[in-house]
Structure 1
Amino acid sequence: MVSVLSSSIVFAAVTTKTLAYVLSELTGKTVRKVTKDKTTGKTHGAMASGIKS
């Protein structure tokens, strides 16, 4: 029972990050910049296309 509960807590903590936040971490841009780019019509996929793995 404890492992199920801890797994649920970890899942809840991970899912609270917004896509803009995750993308900002990956690209090095601020969340504000990612959000501004999104409002100008850029898709999240287009913004992420420059990320090197």
Structure 2
Amino acid sequence: MQAHRDIQVDDLDGETERARTWGAALEEHQPQEGVRVLRDPHGHPFCLLLPGA
């Protein structure tokens, strides 16, 4: 079983790009506006989300 982290951010596009520079991969399926689902370099899922998303 894997843990899933939700991380609230103010700049979704900027933080998504920063995570990608650290090796995260953007998942093909994105569930809703204001949320980005990614996987870290080890394959663990996490979400970046805007307040209220």
Same fold per superposition (TM over 0.5): no
Higher strand share: 2
Bigger Rg, structure 1 or 2: 1
Higher helix share: 1
- Greater relative CO, 1 or 2 (CA 8 Å, sep 6+): 2
TM-score, scaled relative to structure 2: 0.32
